[in-house]
Amino acid sequence: GAVVSQHPSRVICKSGTSVKIECRSLDFQATTMFWYRQFPKQSLMLMATSNEGSKATYEQGVEKDKFLINHASLTLSTLTVTSAHPEDSSFYICSARQETNQPQHFGDGTRLSIL
């Protein structure tokens, strides 16, 4: 149980393109979903926290207009990287949590490469 599906797994596109990444909880309802960016040498950076039906809470330094997050239902959250540039190239990972203080369940990540 507790499966999170993240799609697509890899995207390669031209500079200026907008890219949408989906995160779905397949067998549980996720009251909270998280979006991370993972840099080289492993560190995970929390970008934003989204609760179903409300606006996402962004971490300091993350551009809200650049990284649009929508959490329309208890099983789906999307991250849209708008007008992506090469510096946005990274590994993006989502996670979902059913209740507070419970473990997160992670998607397999999306490797985004902007040419």
Partner 1 sequence: GNSVTQMEGPVTLSEEAFLTINCTYTATGYPSLFWYVQYPGEGLQLLLKATKADDKGSNKGFEATYRKETTSFHLEKGSVQVSDSAVYFCALSGLSGGSYIPTFGRGTSLIVHP
Residue 82 or residue 109: which is nearer to partner 1 going by CB?
A: 109
End-to-end CA distance of the chain: 37
CA torsion sign for 54, 59, 63, 68 is: negative
Residue count (the chain): 115
Residue 6 or residue 90: which is nearer to partner 1 going by CB?
A: 6
Residues that bind partner 1 (CB under 8 A): 4, 6, 34, 42-44, 46, 49, 57, 93, 95, 97, 100-109
Give least dist CB 112 to partner 1, A.
14
Residue 63 or residue 99: which is nearer to partner 1 going by CB?
A: 99
Q: Which pair of structure tokens corresponds to residue 17?
A: 């393109």
**Side chain identity, residue 77:** S
